[in-house]
Amino acid sequence: MKIILLGAPGAGKGTQAAYITKALNIPAISTGDIIRNALKSGSELGKKAKSYMNEGKLVPDEIVIDIIKERLKEDDCKNGFILDGFPRTIAQAEALDSMGVEIDKVVDLEVDEDLIIRRLTGRRVCKDCGSSFHMSMNTPKNEGICDNCGGTLIQRKDDQLSTIMERLSVYKEQTEPLKGYYEQKGKLAIVYGTNDIEQTGKDMLAAMKD
């Protein structure tokens, strides 16, 4: 299955991508994670993307489209994949179409803005594997330590309140129009992402089968 996860910052895309990847045994591809890893390694891509990401703006389309083009050529994508955070503009969606990628379903995770802000201000991520936790809503077994790999949990640079507000406004302006784009193609499913992680995961799997 080829799935796109749509949704505002903090809607739970990364958390659900981790759930679905286990359930369907297909890779989850997060452009955000790929760019953060490039930033950490100090690569050319990281240098180009740094200021956009830290300010909560979108990295230019041509950079992100190239990342996805390369990633989808890899062997593990043969039986499908979950795209978390791509496409994020109409131009990115059109680029995906012109690569000949046939998407089965676009699942849009809907969460109210006040809950999004609580989720993002309390989020902590693993500095090594990128897994997401929350200080009160999705706590790790040992405080400050990643359940998956034992790495240290840190706050993302773009999870400061002012940057969160910028990301939300960028989402409304540039990414939300994708709902209409995929609805017209008959591919959009809407799932409310306010339940706990397990229930939301089940709702998403059900929406993919419809």
Cα 30 to Cα 18: distance, rounded to the nearest angstrom = 10
Which tokens is 93 given?
Answer: 């969606």
Q: Does 133 bind ligand AP5 (CB under 6 A)?
A: yes
Give φ, ψ of 126 to 5 degrees.
Answer: -75, 130
3-state SS assignment for residue 199: helix
Q: Which of residues 77-116 bind ligand AP5 (CB under 6 A)?
A: 85-86, 88, 92
Q: Does 29 bind ligand AP5 (CB under 6 A)?
A: no
3-state SS assignment for residue 205: helix
Q: Does 59 bind ligand AP5 (CB under 6 A)?
A: yes
Cα 97 to Cα 192: distance, rounded to the nearest angstrom = 27
Q: Hey, how many other C-beta atoms are within 10 angstroms of the C-beta on 179?
A: 15
Question: Binding Mg ion by CB under 5 A: which of 14, 87, 130, 201?
Answer: 14
Q: Does 7 bind ligand AP5 (CB under 6 A)?
A: yes
3-state SS assignment for residue 123: strand
Which tokens is 48 given?
Answer: 């180009």
Residue 175 interacts with, from Mg ion, ligand AP5, none (CB under 5-8 Å by kind) = none
156 assigned to active site: yes
Question: Binding ligand AP5 by CB under 6 A: which of 4, 19, 26, 32?
Answer: 32
118 assigned to active site: no
71 assigned to active site: no
Q: Which is nearer to ligand AP5, 108 or 158 (CB)?
A: 158
Q: Does 130 bind Mg ion (CB under 5 A)?
A: no
- Rounded least distance, CB 197 to ligand AP5, Å: 4
Cα 209 to Cα 63: distance, rounded to the nearest angstrom = 32
> Closest CB to ligand AP5 belongs to which residue?
32
Which tokens is 204 given?
Answer: 């998403």
- Rounded least distance, CB 80 to ligand AP5, Å: 19
Residue type at 41? S
Cis preceding linkage at 87, omega within 30: yes
User: Using CA of residue 181, residue 186, residue 190, residue 191, what is the dihedral sign?
Assistant: negative
Q: Does 196 bind ligand AP5 (CB under 6 A)?
A: yes
Q: Does 35 bind ligand AP5 (CB under 6 A)?
A: yes
In the complex, which residues of this chain contact ligand AP5 (CB under 6 A)? 7, 9-15, 30-32, 35, 52-53, 56-59, 64, 85-86, 88, 92, 119-120, 123, 132-134, 137-138, 158, 167, 193, 196-197, 200
Query: Where do contacts with Mg ion occur on this chain (CB under 5 A)?
Result: 14
